[in-house]
Amino acid sequence: QSVLTQPPSVSGAPGQRVTISCTGSSSNIGTHSKIYWYQQLPGTPPNLLIFDDDNRPSGVPDRFSGSRSGTSASLAITGLRAEDEADYYCQSYDSSLRASVIFGGGTKLTVL
């Protein structure tokens, strides 16, 4: 069971907007630990999508955006496209006794 909780799946039609939530606790997202989002296409390594909560690396379309509030974070994708169909993971750091990098369980995005 992951320390960060994500919905197992979300879906949307082309052109629509979807959001993926990432719920943590006071020992990780709640401590203002940085949040990262990765996109993983089938059969490929994860690829950095969002860093430091809401920043996009060069080459990532502005259709992707990140936000955080309290002990949760969200990834929003607007203007959904077929090529966005992938698994999405949030990542942060937990400063509890375990002191570890933590990932969400992943969310499968299906473009209808």
Nearest to 64 by CA among 81, 50, 48, 45: 50
Of 24 and 89, CB closest to another protein = 89
Of 19 and 93, CB closest to another protein = 93
Binding site for another protein (CB under 8 A): 2, 34, 36, 38, 45-48, 51-52, 57, 89, 91, 93, 98, 100-106
Question: How far apart are CB 31 and another protein at their closest, in Å?
Answer: 14
Nearest 5°: the CA angle 81, 87, 89 is 120
Per the structure block, which two tokens stand in for 18?
Answer: 């979807």
Of 4 and 111, CB closest to another protein = 4
Per the structure block, which two tokens stand in for 98?
Answer: 């375990």
Question: How far apart are CB 55 and another protein at their closest, in Å?
Answer: 10
17: alpha, beta or left? (left if phi > 0; alpha if psi -120 to 50):
beta
Question: How far apart are CB 82 and another protein at their closest, in Å?
Answer: 23
- Alpha-carbon distance values, 49 to 26, 27, 61, 83, 97 (Å): 24, 24, 9, 14, 29
Question: How far apart are CB 21 and another protein at their closest, in Å?
Answer: 15
Of 19 and 40, CB closest to another protein = 40
